[in-house]
Structure 1
Amino acid sequence: MKIYSHDNLSLHRPLPYYSYGKMFEPLEIPERMTELLKAPAALGIDVTTAIDIGMAPILAVHDFGYVDFLKNGYHEWMALEEDLGAQVQTGIFVPYDNPAIGIMAKAAKYQADDSAPISEHSWTSIYWSAQTALGAAEALLNHSDDKDTHIQLCFSRPPGHHARKSAAGGFCYLNNAAIIAEHLRQKYAKIAIIDTDMHHGQGIQEIFYERSDVLYTSVHGSPVNFYPAVTGHEFEQGKGAGEGYNVNYPMPHGTDEAGFFTYVDKALDTVALFDADVIVHVLGFDVYESDPEALCSVSTEGFKTLAQKMVALGKPIIILVEGGYYLPKLNDNLQAFLSGLIIDE
């Protein structure tokens, strides 16, 4: 097993923001990385520092104008004579019929909601989050005979599964799962993405909705009055060539651990039927029973079970650690997951 990270993942620090009539403290904060990195250290597992694979795999998935906004938007925002605040953030979302003239219009075009602000060092973390995931993909592309590449885990901060082709939202900026799935297609015919984060990954769904070479299946809380609210229903099954290759398993709010695994097993059956060459697992610790975003109740021991089920598929797997906002248990929960991977190697 290999684990990838980079020091730059901790640089992105969103500031408190105003939404729904009140101020919110950000949940996706650098301290998450501090807690997560304790887990491999406690288990004596080395962490590989990601290397720079470059921009090409990112631009193979995301629009150029959007990536340029993520990279340069902060500096353009701060260059304004008017003080708009210390981070790029807008409550306006006008993605269509928007010529993107001026930084305020660009923000309105590319920020789908107010939970994905851009501050001084955001781009550095965003870029290296993608590079961390790409490191695992490159290892599999170039060293597939190495047993260590059969199971790989990447710290993906900020996370990515909500990021659309040209829009940030839900703490997400670059869609790391989609980027590495597309990158892996250089060598592998079929990629399966299984997403067990508490929230539906509408960005992944959008990017591959009309394709049959990348299966997307997601276990998540029902989107009825829950983020992302407008996607994640069972009837969303793909379009055109992709019809049937997008499979959602929305859980009723309040689902217990047994119910969670009932849905996970259905998703795993879907993945097994697809018979992918490589599996990408979007792992969210926000399904943990005490997480502020949880509408289900997975225990710490449950993450060990989840890991064992993933490995039992018998395919090369890249795990992206994305959601999870209850800091006191992130270390324990990741240790439990890693122990499931280690036992079954």
Structure 2
Amino acid sequence: MKFVFSESQKSHDPRFFLSSGAQRPNPEVPRRADILRRAALDLGLEEVAPAEAGLAPVAAVHTPEYIHFLRHIHARWQRIEGASEEVIPNIHPDRRGGAYPASAVGQAGYHMADTSCPISAQTFDAALASAHTAFHAAGLVLGGERAAYALCRPPGHHAFADLAGGFCYFNNAGVAAQALRSRHDRVAILDVDLHHGNGTQGLFYRRRDVFTVSIHADPVRFYPFFWGHADERGEGEGLGCNLNLPLPRKTGDDGFMAALEQALARIDAFAPGALVIALGLDAFEGDPFGGLSVTTPGFARMAGGIAQLGLPAVIVQEGGYVCDELGANLASFLGAV
């Protein structure tokens, strides 16, 4: 198997984020990429760099208004007297269908769902490289590879068409799925991250050509709180093409696999031509976020179950934060695909 990685993704190095009102070190750090890359190399995967693809891959799933914002907001922010070094919103609208503010402060609130996605001078280029990584991996699969791993960082599954959030800026899984649609009438996205893939759900919620499934910690008391509940099934043409499987906190391997069986049965019924796996390793029992209790061997069980679908697959890295077993968890999953 080949894996795609761009060193330029590491230029994004956020200083902190706010959690329960407190300023804390941001866990989405460049070291994550180093650990995951080393694990992929040790597993014998062949590393390739993504080709430069411009804005077209992200423009396929994000609005031009949002792309323009991400590209220019840091420079604009620095012109504000006394502004923070990184762009962090301090106001959010209670609705998003009305006027669009001209102010950099207003636009930051409009386009940033929370305070965990700070924007520095390097963020746009790193996020675009991350999206190119997913796009290139999709190209490998379209070119005949059975599977390809996109080592994307920053991650993407909390990013909506015009909204950053949860460490995410461009929706890498969405970019990969849209690329696969160039050849396949139907594509499925299976998100196994600890947190619900709310941005991915939002991108495709009214579409019937991309089936979105997410297995995650129950958001009734867990981020992202407002999305990821079992009654969210899609809207319009997309009704019935979204499946959420929220799990109780600390669910382990057996409970996760039971949910995965439901997910795989529904994906099989959708009959997709290809699959995107949004791979979050933060479901691990020792991950700093501590929401679920999947073991290192559990990731191999997970991958083995998914492999039974027999679909060409793009594996897109989402969460999974620095802990002693992070690399081993990736190796466990990729070794069983």
TM-score band (shorter)? over 0.9
Note the 1:83-122 alignment, pairs <5 A.
83-94=82-93, 95-122=96-123
Contact 1:91 1:113 in 2 (8 A): no
Cα offsets for 1:217-254 (capped at 9, x unmatched): 11011010211101111111111111111011000112
For the pair 1:33 / 2:33, whether they are aligned, the reply is yes
Q: What's 2:56 paired with?
A: 56
Q: Secondary structure at the match of 2:316?
A: strand
Q: Secondary structure at the match of 1:35?
A: helix
How far residue 196 of structure 1 moved from its aligned partner, in angstroms, is 0.4
Task: Give 1:299's match in structure 2, choosing from 288, 291, 295.
Answer: 295
CA–CA distance in structure 1, aligned partners of residues 263 and 154 of structure 2: 25
What TM-score do you get using the length of structure 2 for normalisation?
0.96
CA–CA distance in structure 1, aligned partners of residues 47 and 99 of structure 2: 43
Q: What's 1:213 paired with?
A: 209
Q: What's 1:285 paired with?
A: 281
Cα offsets for 1:96-132 (capped at 9, x unmatched): 4342212111101101100111012111110000000
CA–CA distance in structure 1, aligned partners of residues 212 and 196 of structure 2: 11
Contact 2:141 2:313 in 1 (8 A): no
Superposition misfits of 4+ residues, deviation over 6 angstroms: none
Cα offsets for 1:124-161 (capped at 9, x unmatched): 110000000000122233x23xxxx1111101111111
1:185 is aligned with what amino acid?
R
Contact 2:286 2:323 in 1 (8 A): no
How far residue 10 of structure 1 moved from its aligned partner, in angstroms, is 0.9
How far residue 166 of structure 1 moved from its aligned partner, in angstroms, is 0.5
How far residue 165 of structure 1 moved from its aligned partner, in angstroms, is 0.8
Q: What's 1:262 paired with?
A: 258
Note the 1:93-242 alignment, pairs <5 A.
93-94=92-93, 95-141=96-142, 143-144=143-144, 149-242=145-238
How far residue 206 of structure 1 moved from its aligned partner, in angstroms, is 1.1
CA–CA distance in structure 2, aligned partners of residues 246 and 96 of structure 1: 24
CA–CA distance in structure 1, aligned partners of residues 195 and 17 of structure 2: 21
1:231 is aligned with what amino acid?
W
CA–CA distance in structure 1, aligned partners of residues 97 and 25 of structure 2: 30
2:51 is aligned with what amino acid?
I
Q: Secondary structure at the match of 1:139?
A: helix
Contact 2:31 2:322 in 1 (8 A): no
Note the 1:240-259 alignment, pairs <5 A.
240-259=236-255
Note the 1:306-345 alignment, pairs <5 A.
306-341=302-337
Count of equivalent residues: 335
Mean CA deviation greater in 253-262 or 214-223: 253-262
CA–CA distance in structure 2, aligned partners of residues 114 and 77 of structure 1: 15
Structure 1 residues 17 and 193 mapped into 2: Cα distance closer, same or farther (>3 Å)? closer
How far residue 57 of structure 1 moved from its aligned partner, in angstroms, is 2.1
Cα offsets for 1:299-338 (capped at 9, x unmatched): 1111111122222210100000110013321111111112
1:3 is aligned with what amino acid?
F
Task: Flag structure 1 segments of 5+ consecutive residues without an equivalent.
Answer: none
Contact 1:100 1:106 in 2 (8 A): yes
Cα offsets for 1:165-211 (capped at 9, x unmatched): 10000111111111221222121100000000011111111111111
How far residue 65 of structure 1 moved from its aligned partner, in angstroms, is 1.1
CA–CA distance in structure 2, aligned partners of residues 17 and 232 of structure 1: 22
Contact 1:89 1:117 in 2 (8 A): yes
Q: What's 1:73 paired with?
A: 73
CA–CA distance in structure 2, aligned partners of residues 99 and 74 of structure 1: 18
Contact 1:222 1:251 in 2 (8 A): yes
Structure 1 residues 109 and 86 mapped into 2: Cα distance closer, same or farther (>3 Å)? same
Mean CA deviation greater in 65-74 or 126-135: 65-74
Q: Identity of aligned pairs, percent? A: 37
CA–CA distance in structure 2, aligned partners of residues 63 and 228 of structure 1: 22
CA RMSD of aligned residues (A): 1.3
